Structure 1
């Protein structure tokens, strides 16, 4: 299964200047729980926002830079190549950024979306989820609280088969 996992605002904003525009500790924990022990596919810019490798995950980084080879990472030139090197994992995650999500829409079986309730100024966006292609199968709302400035809803979509 290929799953895209993201946190996006109501205007599909993902981030600005290679950073998130909100801080949701519960979403970080959920991301870690879902992606641990799996391959995570991302673009180079997304990878470079990490202070270090995420533990217990195999990092696959897509870049057009031919001499790019950070330690501990599988480097590929395309999403198709990333999916090929990840095929031994029955549950692969595409984790961003915006262009990789856009390309991933045609390959993904599931979307795990954290919908952040608000609209944000951003330079990177998640692609629109088309209701004719995707079916919402689960959602779980979380109100804002002392650790979460914004309310958010976990939404799980499966690709329609009908």
Structure 2
């Protein structure tokens, strides 16, 4: 089973503020949906609570030490139990979707990264740990221009990159 992480982050590794995303990029949401559909997604309790419900056509796995329960969600207090559950259900690619502590804790297990690098600098209280890309191969990149509407930035510029761990 491939273990992947998918995350959008700003220029200073920002990923969130007050348990919310820092930007709204509809093309990035569509990308996330297309990539993760039909797969297991693994997240922390706070990330699940920010989403509010299990995402359609995905199996939601939540890591929590607080006895968290929610209908339609599989909760684990041990990451290996979550990985084993995904393996037993024949998952081919498990997606880690956040938040900051989950990315940091599970990064050593990651085989593939789907990264949205957003042209954003601003207030945040959740950050991705800086990544040393020297042990990764860039296998795909697509650049997106800023979208403005009535003189306002509707969507910042961003780059979507896929990285795989070097052998």
Superposition RMSD in Å: 1.2
Post-superposition offset of 1:52:
2.3
Match of 2:73 in 1: 73
**2:166 aligned with 1:160, yes or no?**
yes
Match of 1:38 in 2: 39
1:1-162 pair list within 5 angstroms: 1-66=2-67, 68-87=68-87, 88-146=90-148, 148-161=154-167
Structure 2 unaligned residues grouped into runs of 5+ = none
Secondary structure of the equivalent of 1:6?
strand
Secondary structure of the equivalent of 1:154?
strand
Give the distance between the partners of 1:39 and 1:73, measured in 2 at CA. 11
How many corresponding residue pairs? 160
Structure 1 unaligned residues grouped into runs of 5+ = none
Checking the alignment, whether the CA contact within 8 Å between 1:15 and 1:21 is kept in structure 2 is yes
Indicate the structure with greater strand content: 2
Indicate the structure with greater helix content: 2
For normalisation by structure 2, the TM-score amounts to 0.91
Could you list the runs of 4 or more consecutive aligned residues of structure 1 that deviate by over 3 angstroms after TM superposition? none
For normalisation by structure 1, the TM-score amounts to 0.94
